[in-house]
Copies of this chain bind each other. A is one copy, B any other.
């Protein structure tokens, strides 16, 4: 069975790809070049897609930096070095990014006649992003099945979010079991061109704590 898998180049989506492969899915990996600060994440996605056996990998260009509004796409907004206040949404949130990525995946899925989109959203260590919550994923799926020819014709699509309830430690243990080489993945919001992490941003902190909690050696290359 065919599945479109969103692949960012980070730890979570690499694990999701490995899980989809274990389930026997024929995986079409999709990445978005949306104006993020660094290209290392996409370089990582290219290597991960091959290493984990995607049948095809497409990188789609969509320049969200035209709109700005996020530390990840707007050079004038600094990436914070400390966690924000509890309950607040951080400046690293990219407006509607997950919705845009899922929508593009939806178009590709329909063309491929794939009935699943696999999406590495995580609501546990999710840093307060609204578009990583289970109720968001459910609402997207409902909308998607009204949007498409396949849905209208009774071939519904499922948005699989298999790690949404997992702690980072559990995700890492699952990936290690499936042979994911996390040295390939880049989570840092401001990695350098070689993919080396800053060690100080939210994404680095959550990742490092995850390896520690999993009892797995942290393979991240810090600069």
A residues near B, CB below 8 A? 58, 60-64, 66-69, 89, 93-100, 102-104, 106-108, 110-112, 130-131, 133, 135-136, 139-140, 142-144, 146-149, 151-153
B146 & A130 in contact (Cβ 8 Å cutoff): yes
Inter-chain contacts of A89 with B (CB < 8 A): 149, 152-153
Complex Cα gap A66–B99 (Å): 20
B107 & A95 in contact (Cβ 8 Å cutoff): yes
Closest chain-B Cβ to A92's Cβ sits at a distance in Å of 11
Q: List the number of copies, as a whole number.
A: 2
5 CB < 8 A contacts A-B = A62-B104, A94-B107, A96-B104, A96-B110, A100-B107
Closest chain-B Cβ to A114's Cβ sits at a distance in Å of 11
From A63, A136, A149, residue with most partner B Cβ within 10 Å = A149
A147 & B108 in contact (Cβ 8 Å cutoff): no
Q: Which residue of B lies closest to A34 (CB)?
A: B107
A143-B139, A143-B142, A146-B136 given as contacts; is B108 within 8 A of A67 (CB)? yes
A60 & B58 in contact (Cβ 8 Å cutoff): no
Complex Cα gap A111–B147 (Å): 25
Inter-chain contacts of A108 with B (CB < 8 A): 67, 95
Closest chain-B Cβ to A87's Cβ sits at a distance in Å of 10
From A58, A102, A146, residue with most partner B Cβ within 10 Å = A146
A67-B108, A111-B67 given as contacts; is B60 within 8 A of A99 (CB)? no
A60-B62, A89-B153, A153-B89 given as contacts; is B103 within 8 A of A148 (CB)? no
A68-B111, A99-B103, A100-B107 given as contacts; is B139 within 8 A of A151 (CB)? no
A61-B63, A103-B103, A153-B89 given as contacts; is B111 within 8 A of A95 (CB)? yes
